Structure 1
Amino acid sequence: MARRIYLDYNATTPVAPEVLEAMLPFLRDRFGNASSVHWEGQVAKQAVDDAREAVAALLGVEPREIVFTSGGTEADNLAVQGVARQYARRGRHILVSAIEHPAVLEAAKALRYEGFDVELIPVTADGIVDLDRFREMLRPDTVLVSVMAANNETGVVQPVEAIGALCREREIFFHVDAVQAVGKLPVEPRRWGCDLLSLSAHKIYGPKGVGALYVRQGVDLTPIIYGGFQERGRRSGTENVPGIVGLGAACRYIAERWVAEAERLAGLRDRFEAELRQAFPDVWIHGQKALRVPNTSMFSFPGADGEALMMRLDLEGFAVSTGSACSSGRLEPSHVLQAMGVPPEVVRGSLRVSLGRDTTWDDLAALLTAFREIQANRRP
C-alpha cells in the first residue's frame, strides 16, 4: 500500500509514543481501581492525581478544578446542562454561538424541553461572534453563555476574553469549548474569565475516550451521570486510569512543543493557501481575514461536490474532511459556513485540511498536485 498522507488532525491525532509509553503499565500490571483503598488502588489513584496536576498546569489552574470525563462531548454536556440545571432559579436564558460544535448545540437545545430559552449568537462573515449582537442579546435572566475558543471547521479564534469580561460584569456563567484550541494557542481560563472549559485528549496526541472539564472553584454542577462519588461527586464512574494517564502525558507532551509547532504549521498553512489561490483564483478560503489556529484551512471550490472530492482524494491516499468529523456521516451542509452567510453552492464544495506533527511541505505539495490533476480531468 502506498504511503497515505494524513491531513485531518482536527478530527483526531495519533497517540504520541511518549504518551503510549506512559499508558502501557496501566494497561498491564498496574490495573488497580483508583477508588480502592489497597496498594493497587492507591497506585492508580496517584497516577490519576499526577495526570490531574499535568492538565491543571497546562491551563494554569488548580488540580482540584479539573474533572475527568469520557471526552470533549461529555465535558461540554456536563458544563452546559450541569450549570443550567444547578442555577435554573437564577435564570433560564442560555446563549451559545451559532457555530458551536454539536456537543454544545445539541446539549443546549435539549434544555428547551426543560423550559430553558436557548438562543444562538450570530457570527460575522469572517466567522467571528458578533460582539455587538451578543451584548444586545444579554438579558437579566441569562444564566449561561457558551462560546468555543476556536472553531473546529474554519479554525477561527473567537473573542473569548471580551465575552468573558461581559459575562463577569453581569455574573453570568461562561463556558468555553477549547477542544480545538489546546496545543495550538495559549489556553488561559483565568485570563479569559471563563467558569468552565472543555478539552479532549485525542486532539492533542492522547488516547480517545478521555477528556477533562475545568470547573472554577465555587461553581457547582448538577451531575449528568449518577452512580458513584468519583471526581468529587461531579462525574460518577470508575476512573479510566490508562486514559487519564494518557491525557496527563499528552498535556506534558504538547506543553513542551506547541509554541514551536504552531509557528511551523502556520508557515506551512499560509504557503499552502497562497499556492492554492494562485492555482485556483476562484477558491474561497473561509475565515482568512480572521485570526485562526495555525494548523487549519477550510476552503471551497464553488460548484464542486465536496463529499465527492473528499472520497476521490481518499482513493488517491489523502485523508481530508468536509468539516466536523462528528457530523461527516450526515448529509446536512456545514452549519458553520451557513452561519457565516456562505452561498449554498460554495458551502457544497468545501473541504477542510488540518495539519499536525507529521505534516511536511511535500505532503501539501502533493495535495496541490492532486487538485490540479482532478481539475484538469474535469475539463471537456
Structure 2
Amino acid sequence: MRAPYASDPGKSRGRLTPEPEAPPRTPFERDRDRIIHSSAFRRLKHKTQVFVYHEGDHYRTRLTHSIEVAQIARSIARALRLDEDLTEALALAHDLGHTPFGHAGERELDRLMHDHGGFDHNAQSLRIVTRLERRYAAFDGLNLTWETLEGLVKHNGPLIDGEGHALGHYRETGLPAAIIDYAEAHDLMLASFASAEAQAAAIADDIAYNAHDIDDGLRAGLFDVIDLGDDPLVGAALGQVLKAYPKLERPRMIHETVRRLISAMVADVLAESTKQLKAFKPASADEVRGMRTPVITFSAQMREKNRVLQSFLSHRMYRHERVIAIMERAQRVIRDLFEAYMNDPKLMPVDWREDSFTDDKSGFARQVCDFIAGMTDRYALDQHKKLFDLDPLFR
C-alpha cells in the first residue's frame, strides 16, 4: 500500500503535451518504459564512468550502473512504500546526459562551451528527454510527466532559493539555459525539494557509485583489499567477510565485501528515513517538497563514513596516474572533435547540421555539443580516427 507521502500516479500533474491515459500502465510506468526504449538509454551501454570501454568487459558502464541504481532505489522505495515505478524511472534516467569518457568528457565539454552557456550533464538529461529524442509524431522528447521531469532536475535538492538565486554548484555559473527555458514553459518548482521518490533515486546513486567504484578499483589493481582495512565503512564489511570466511579467494572476498557495504548503506537510509518521516509526518508528496530538508537521507554517522570513503577513492582511484592518463587522452579526443566540427560543419552527419550554416555561433556550438555529448566512447574514438587517422593511445 502506497504511503500518504508517496507520489500518486492518479494525481500526476500531467505532461506538457496532453496525452490520453494508457491502462493498465500508470503514467509513471509509461515514463519508465519510454526511458528504457530511448536511444539515449541504449547508448549508455558504451559510455564509461572511469575506464574506457575496451579496457575490459567487467568494468561498469553507465548502463550497468543505471540498472544497479534502479535495483537499489526500487528496494528503498518498496520498504518506504513509495511509488516504485517513478523511483525506477528516475534511477534509469539519471545518467542520460553524461558524455563519453565520464566526468573527463564533461569537464572538457564544459570548458569548450564556456562562451556558449557551458555544459552540465543534469541540464543535458533534461534536453534529451524534452527535445533531443525525436521518436514520437506528436512531440519532441519523451513527453514525460511533470513528476519525472521534476525529479530528474531536482534529485539533489532545490536549484534556486526563494528569491530566485541559484544554489549549490550553480551558485557561481547560474542555472543552465535548458533548465530555465523548460521551467518557463512547465514550472518545475525549482525552489523546492523533489519528491521522496527522486530523493530515493539520488541516494541509491550515491550508494551504487561508492560501492561499485571500490569493486572496479580493486579489479583494476588501483588499490588492494588491505588498503581498505582502516576505512570505517569498508573495513567493517571486510572484517565480517574475513571472520566468516578466513580462506576465501580474492574475487569472492571482493564481492562479499561490496554486497555487505551496499546492505549497510541501504539499512542506514531506511532507518534514518523512517525516523525522519515519523518526526515530520508529511501527509502528501507536496508536503515532502515543501520541507526544508530531504526526508530520504543517510544518518550523520553514515554521511561521515561516506565522506572518508570518497576521500580514499579520490586519492587512490580518481587521481591515480593511470586514470589521469586515460582522462587526459579522453579530453584530447573531445577537444579535437569539437574543434573539427566547429571549423567544418560538413564533417557532422546531415541530420545534425540542418541549421549549421547560420550566424548563430552559440547555437551551432550547442548543436555540436549535443552531438558529441550523445556519443558513446567507441563512436567518439571511431570518429576521431576517421577524422585524424590517429590512435589517441588508448592501449
Normalising by the residue count of structure 1, what TM-score does the alignment of the two structures yield? 0.27
Normalising by the residue count of structure 2, what TM-score does the alignment of the two structures yield? 0.27
| Greater strand fraction, Structure 1 or Structure 2 | 1
| Greater helix fraction, Structure 1 or Structure 2 | 2
